């Protein structure tokens, strides 16, 4: 059971969020995944990574977090809404890269101040969850991947958890598809999955769900982010922005926040 989460994939389920984005045209549904931005030795900043298209013209963004218990997440979830001063959106520094982040620390702090004695359960992807850059040369044209997303019509509202959809790479991940830092995957990509993390899957069996068995799954990690356009194609193809661009976005957030913390 994923309460509390034990395996890598169970923990990833809790790091992926369904986003309800309020726009002048109505509510847009998308997916995002939580990361931590290390600002300095003493401080990290939470961020939800998604796409530019998902956050375009956003006046508010809502998502849900499980409440935290002593041993991990409870089954109960609460809504966290970011708008006005608590809505902070950071776009990727390159305009042609379809990535953006929602910084939700202020909204979390505000919720916890309004609900003393209660905590939100946070799970995130840190550097160890990224497939190492120095190992990308190992990748072949056909690799098994998984996209973890929140499809509009298949959302599990009772458990507040996304779906894991398996697939494979359709273009070589070492090449930049159409000259962009992207590659193509073949999987069932459904509306609402913009911003879903795409991960390399270990092929083969494992001995169990113990930490030792999990540690053997070394060929596993974030390869990129499913984006809009082809990235929500029910016919089975999705464009994925490579993970090094997620790193670039996180680094731009870190540099900006660290710069504002410096004394004048």
**Residue 262, CA distances (Å) to 251, 255, 259 in order:** 16, 11, 5
Written as six digits, the tokens of 238 are: 């999705």
pLDDT at 264: 41
Is residue 40 over pLDDT 90? no
pLDDT band at 201 (very low <50, low <70, confident <90, very high): confident
pLDDT at 263: 46
DSSP letter string, 102-168:
EE-HHHHHHHHHHSTT--B----B-GGGBPPGGGGGG--SS-EEEEEE--GGG-BTTTTB-EEEEEE
Percentage with pLDDT > 90 across the chain = 65
Cα(14)–Cα(29) distance, integer angstroms: 18
pLDDT at 237: 86
Sequence ranges of the domains in the chain: 8-125+247-261, 131-243
Mean pLDDT value across residues 190-211: 75
The predicted-structure confidence for 176-188, as pLDDT tens digits, reads as follows 999 999 999 998 8
pLDDT at 126: 85
CB 22 within 8 A of CB 90: no
131-243 has the same fold as 8-125+247-261 = yes
Cα(83)–Cα(229) distance, integer angstroms: 26
Of 3.40.50.11820, 1.10.3720.10, 2.40.10.10, 1.10.150.130, the CATH number of 8-125+247-261 is 2.40.10.10
pTM value is 0.89
Angle at 37 between CA 56 and CA 67, to 5 degrees: 80
Query: What value does the mean pLDDT of the chain take?
Result: 87
pLDDT band at 2 (very low <50, low <70, confident <90, very high): low
**Contacts (Cβ under 8 Å, ≥6 apart) of 159:** 75
pLDDT at 262: 54
Mean pLDDT value across residues 207-219: 55
pLDDT band at 210 (very low <50, low <70, confident <90, very high): low
Mean pLDDT value across residues 153-167: 89
DSSP letter string, 7-76:
SHHHHHHHHEEEEEEEETTEEEEEEEEEEEEEEETTEEEEEEEE-HHHHTT-SEEEEEEEEEETTEEEEE
Is residue 258 over pLDDT 80? no
CB 4 within 8 A of CB 25: no
Determine the distance from the C-alpha atom of residue 17 to the mean position of all C-alpha atoms in its chain, rounded to a whole number. 7
First-to-last C-alpha distance (Å) of the chain: 51
Is residue 208 over pLDDT 70? no
pLDDT at 43: 81
Q: Is CATH 2.10.240.10 what the domain over 131-243 is classified as, yes or no? A: no
Mean pLDDT value across residues 62-88: 92
């Amino acid at each position: 059971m994923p309460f509390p989460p034990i395996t890598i994939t169970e923990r990833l389920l809790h790091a992926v969020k369904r986003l309800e984005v309020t726009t002048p045209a109505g509510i847009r549904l998308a997916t995002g995944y939580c990361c931590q931005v290390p600002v300095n030795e003493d401080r990290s900043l939470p961020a939800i990574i998604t796409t530019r298209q998902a956050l375009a013209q956003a006046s508010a963004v809502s998502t849900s977090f499980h409440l935290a218990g002593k041993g991990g997440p409870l089954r109960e979830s609460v809504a966290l809404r970011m708008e006005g001063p608590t809505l902070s959106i950071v776009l990727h520094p390159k305009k042609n890269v379809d990535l953006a982040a929602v910084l939700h620390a202020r909204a979390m702090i505000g919720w916890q101040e309004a609900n003393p004695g209660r905590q939100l359960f946070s799970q995130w992807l840190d550097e160890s969850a990224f497939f190492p850059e120095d190992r990308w040369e190992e990748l072949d044209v056909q690799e098994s991947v998984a996209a973890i997303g929140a499809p509009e019509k298949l959302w599990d509202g009772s458990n507040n958890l996304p779906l894991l959809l398996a697939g494979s790479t359709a273009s070589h991940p070492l090449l930049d598809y159409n000259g962009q830092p992207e590659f193509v995957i073949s999987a069932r990509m459904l509306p609402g999955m913009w911003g879903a993390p795409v991960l390399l899957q270990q092929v083969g069996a494992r001995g169990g769900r113990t930490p030792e068995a999990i540690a053997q799954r070394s060929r596993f990690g974030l390869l990129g982010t499913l984006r809009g356009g082809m990235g929500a194609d029910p016919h089975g193809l999705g464009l994925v922005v490579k993970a090094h661009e997620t790193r670039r976005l996180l680094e731009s957030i870190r540099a900006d926040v660290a710069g504002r913390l410096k004394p004048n």
